[in-house]
Structure 1
Amino acid sequence: MAKIVLVSGSTRRDSLNTAVLTTVRHILAELPGDHEAVTLSVAGLPFYEAGLEHADGSPEVRAAKEQVAGADALFISTPSYNGEMPGALKNALDWLSRPGGRSPLTGKVTAVTSASPGARGGIDAQPGLVGVLGRCGARVVEHEPVALGGARPPAGADGRYTDPDIVGRLESLTRAVLTELSRLDERAEVLV
């Protein structure tokens, strides 16, 4: 079973990026294979502070690290705040990157997308996010950027997008994650 942690960079209640991840969860349920999607909220994590880290973090930080460590992949959707990822998402990555050498992000297959009501769809935040993920040791999935511009809240009551173009682009990125996981499984089998 592939376990995928869904992370929204937005803490807003009716977030477009959370709707993107709700759509990804639905796509995973429809695809062949055994997949589990769980959500990690960045909202409840304290601000990163070395003293707190040396005191073993907080229960929220420990739970987030355990959740990511137990996952096969991450799927992150972020808004763009002044052309960058939101501080809450960066803070979560700072916590998850620690301690160096034992970070649960190391080698983690990770997909990145964004959504915004603006025409560019938050794409300006993606390079910085990809850069931070690379410095944290994550394996960012190679795929053409998926940025949903002009995004509006989903019309349906279940909180997911149904527009065929949006679903198709997110499905392509989701399949890229699953393909990368399959490649890693094949490499592991060869090494055994």
Structure 2
Amino acid sequence: MSVRILALVGSLRAGSHNRQLAEAAVKLAPEGTSVDVYEGLADIPFYNEDIDVEGSVPAAAVKLREAAGSADALLLFTPEYNGTIPAVLKNAIDWLSRPYGAGALSGKPVAVVGTAFGQYGGVWAQDETRKAVGIAGAKVLEDIKLSIPGSMTRFAETHPAEDTEVAEQLTEVVARIQGHAAAPTAA
């Protein structure tokens, strides 16, 4: 069985270390699994129920919902902004949580990882992201975690894919998500 994992990156910065981490996941995905980094989170308007009605849902939000709906699992990469989740990632979760009870995240396996400059690697943002996607209906893979501290120095001259320790950890993360996504669901 082929497994498709959709990656959402919570940083819009061109040189984002979380973006680089997502690119590394693409390269390190095991055979039979693809990791696709979603492009376009910056184009999605802030969630507003007034525009989330049939016939007027913004095209960027429709595209995101379709991409998440066709994925077998999601892998979210989040930096930590002021101790919490970046607005762009929270906005994506809000759009994916609707329609209530039947959103694109409903029952879908989701793991959250990331890197941040601080000494804890963004664990607060990751915890908040897990909370938000769980409330949005996803099957949060609580046992899959990867927080990489000191991103500004650790990745100053090395891409995460070339950092042996990070590459091994990220390979394990993707393989474990693959296992959850490929596992038959209980009837």
> Is TM-score (shorter-chain normalized) higher than 0.5?
yes
Could you tell me how far 1:144 is from its partner in structure 2? Answer: 5.1
SS at match of 1:69: helix
Could you tell me how far 1:154 is from its partner in structure 2? Answer: 6.2
Q: Distance in 1 between matches of 2:170 and 2:156?
A: 15
Q: Distance in 1 between matches of 2:67 and 2:35?
A: 11
Could you tell me how far 1:179 is from its partner in structure 2? Answer: 1.3
TM-score of the aligned structures, taking structure 1 as reference length: 0.88
1:5 aligns with 2:6: yes
Q: Distance in 2 between matches of 1:26 and 1:154?
A: 20
Q: Distance in 1 between matches of 2:126 and 2:103?
A: 21
Structure 1 vs Structure 2 CA RMSD: 1.7
Matches within 5 A, 1:19-168: 19-28=20-29, 31-32=30-31, 34-41=32-39, 42-54=41-53, 55-143=55-143, 145-152=145-152, 153=155, 155=157, 160-168=160-168
Could you tell me how far 1:56 is from its partner in structure 2? Answer: 3.2
Runs of at least 5 residues in structure 1 that lack an aligned partner in the other structure: none
SS at match of 1:113: strand
Runs of at least 5 residues in structure 2 that lack an aligned partner in the other structure: none
Decide whether the 8 Å contact of 1:154 with 1:160 is kept in 2: no
How many residues are aligned here? 182
Decide whether the 8 Å contact of 2:96 with 2:105 is kept in 1: yes
Could you tell me how far 1:101 is from its partner in structure 2? Answer: 2.1
Structure 1 residue ranges (4+ consecutive) displaced by more than 2 angstroms after TM superposition: 142-145, 152-156
Q: Distance in 1 between matches of 2:62 and 2:43?
A: 12
Decide whether the 8 Å contact of 1:43 with 1:88 is kept in 2: yes
Q: Distance in 1 between matches of 2:81 and 2:88?
A: 11
Identity level (%) = 28
**2:166 partner letter:** I
Q: Distance in 2 between matches of 1:74 and 1:114?
A: 14
